[in-house]
Amino acid sequence: MVKLGVKAGDKVGTLAWNDHRHLEAYFAIPSIGAVLHTINIRLSEEHLTYIINNAEDKVLLVDEGMIPIIEKIKDNIPTVEHFIILTDEETLPETSLKPVQLYEAFIKGANETFQFLQDIPETNPAGMCYTSATTGNPKGVLYTHRSIVLHSMMLCFADTIAISERDVAMPVVPMFHVNAWGIPFATVSLGTKLVLPGPNFNGEVLAELIEKEKVTMTAGVPTIWIELAKVLETGKYDTSSLTRVVCGGSAAPEGLIRKYEKEFNIPFLHAYGMTETSPVVTVARLKSHQEELPYDEQLKYKGKQGLPTILIEAKVVGENGEEVKHDGEEMGELLLRGPWITDEYYREPEKTKEAVQDGWLRTGDIVTVDEEGFIKIVDRTNDLIKSGGEWISSVDLENALMAHEAVFEATVIAVPHERWQERPVAFIVLKDGKDVTEEELRQYLLEEKKFAKWWLPDKFIFLDEIPKTSVGKFLKRELREQYRDVLLKEQNV
């Protein structure tokens, strides 16, 4: 990189999956004072072009499979001076990218005694990532050397993720998504064995890797664990090495947690964070006295996002800025501050002003806090459903629906309603070979899950697949656009 002209402060973009070459880039780039810019390969061409230009990436490291994507935008990213293809191949594939080199040839002539910079100020940027844009363009977040080191140390605490040298860690969360939640940095710092599943994984591939490599901890979003659960139900794989599955990105249904812990005997650990928070800020580790509770009581805590980690301050405020009661009922917006919480968006002063106020990051997540201090996400501010002046949590409805034995996936959105302002509509994907009617689901929510009648979705729409974001979350925006004109019948609420 230095021979190529990369200097301290330059941005080097990566469009890569979870493999050893990407891991090498994780350390090589920051160690010469440059900035590792992990790029979400699932973004649209428009957003890819925007963030490469906004970051002013000087070099792009590109997985071979990503070449066609970058070829489409190559003429619109003028700051990029060089492309490096991440592959073991010795022959350059046909490509219009110029100038371009193969990765292995690129590093072959490197100086094996190269001295990395020893005096990089700890507050200098080491990495950057862009948010998944729900409206407008993605927003850039810089991570400093200091914030990455402190976040890595936090992940090793027994009451957080408890990463240790003895672990065999398999991050399924992509390395282009908030530094794979910091797992590569923390594991390498300890000498932990890493299992990197590459681009072409599915539930069976993950199960095979867990059995073959004796994986002890793995991390990903709920949709990954829903898919893996289908495979583990076959009983074909030995997963006894697993000491915890870490779940983040969105809330996991209690039914999924129960399945892993009771059917598969795999501990399930909820965590929460955002691109702006590096990301981990809460973990749902039970307190010592809670381990004596009946399992159903424990499950209520395991299903929440958990307690703030060491060094993180959190508060929850209502519409007028007052802190809400810690009663598990009163809702408010979660505000955060700490050494790995961003205090600005890259080159976005106006968006920074909206999001960071008096040193606190406004997360946009609506939460409750119970008497034990456990935080539970009720919804995003733009996903809450306001019906007849009262709030309905789409997350609570989704979790309840996914606990039904016939339901594989479920998501709930708000649809405009002329009388009630908004009403919930549920989208359902059924498990293979299972069947359930709309009325049966309505009765299930009413009778077994004890929801108030006015919380029940007005419609249940059955799909073959729910659209998802680039990091595996349900894409509610697309559903809203597609179904906004759905006619809803009025109910006696």
Predicted confidence pLDDT, tens digits, the chain (493 residues): 999 999 999 999 999 999 999 999 999 999 999 999 999 988 888 889 999 999 999 999 999 999 999 999 999 999 999 999 999 988 999 999 999 999 999 999 888 899 998 899 999 999 999 987 655 789 999 999 999 999 999 999 999 999 999 999 999 999 999 999 999 999 999 999 999 999 989 999 999 999 999 999 999 988 899 899 999 999 999 999 999 999 998 788 888 999 999 999 999 999 999 999 999 999 999 999 999 999 999 999 999 999 999 999 999 999 889 999 999 999 899 999 999 999 999 999 999 999 999 999 999 888 999 999 999 988 776 677 878 666 788 888 998 999 999 999 999 998 887 667 788 999 999 999 999 999 999 999 999 888 878 889 999 999 999 988 766 778 887 888 787 665 444 433 3
Q: At what angle do helices 20-31 and 183-190 cross, to 10 degrees?
A: 80
276 a catalytic residue:
yes
72 a catalytic residue:
no
Q: Are 340 and 385 in contact (CB under 8 A)?
A: no
SS3 content of the chain, % helix, strand, coil (to 5): 30, 25, 45
- Hey, CA dihedral for 102, 104, 110, 116, is it positive or negative? positive
Rounded CA gap, 159 and 310, in Å? 9
pLDDT value for 489: 43
268-273 vs 280-283, strand pairing mode: antiparallel
Q: From the DSSP assignment, how many helices (H) and strands (E) are in the chain?
A: 14, 24
Residue with tokens 């595996």: 472
Give the full edge-to-edge strand order of the sheet including 217-220: 193-194, 168-171, 217-220, 244-247, 268-273, 280-283, 307-308
- The kind and range of the H/E element at 412 are strand 407-417
pLDDT value for 251: 80
- The kind and range of the H/E element at 362 are strand 360-369
pLDDT value for 389: 61
What is the DSSP code (8-state) at residue 92?
P
Nearest residue to 241 via CA among 258, 217, 205, 208: 217
Q: Are 243 and 168 in contact (CB under 8 A)?
A: no
Rounded CA gap, 179 and 278, in Å? 8
360-369 vs 332-337, strand pairing mode: antiparallel
Rounded CA gap, 72 and 95, in Å? 11
Q: Which of 391, 440, 481, 490 is catalytic?
A: 391
Q: Report whether the peptide linkage leading into residue 99 is cis, meaning its omega lies within 30 degrees of zero.
A: yes
472, two tokens: 């595996």
- Three-state DSSP state, 233: coil
213 a catalytic residue:
no
Per-residue burial over 300-322, b if 16 or more Cβ lie within 10 Å, else e, is: ebbbbbbbbbeebebebeeeeee
391 a catalytic residue:
yes
Task: For each of the domains in the chain, give its residue range(s) and CATH number, in order of start.
Answer: 11-138 (3.40.50.980), 156-380 (3.40.50.12780), 385-483 (3.30.300.30)
| Rg of the chain in Å (alpha carbons) | 23
Rounded CA gap, 478 and 468, in Å? 9
Q: Which of 254, 276, 398, 409 is catalytic?
A: 276
Q: Which of 236, 386, 434, 453 is catalytic?
A: 386
Rounded CA gap, 272 and 490, in Å? 37
Q: Which of 14, 38, 131, 363 is catalytic?
A: 131
- Hey, CA dihedral for 424, 425, 429, 434, is it positive or negative? positive
Rounded CA gap, 375 and 305, in Å? 6
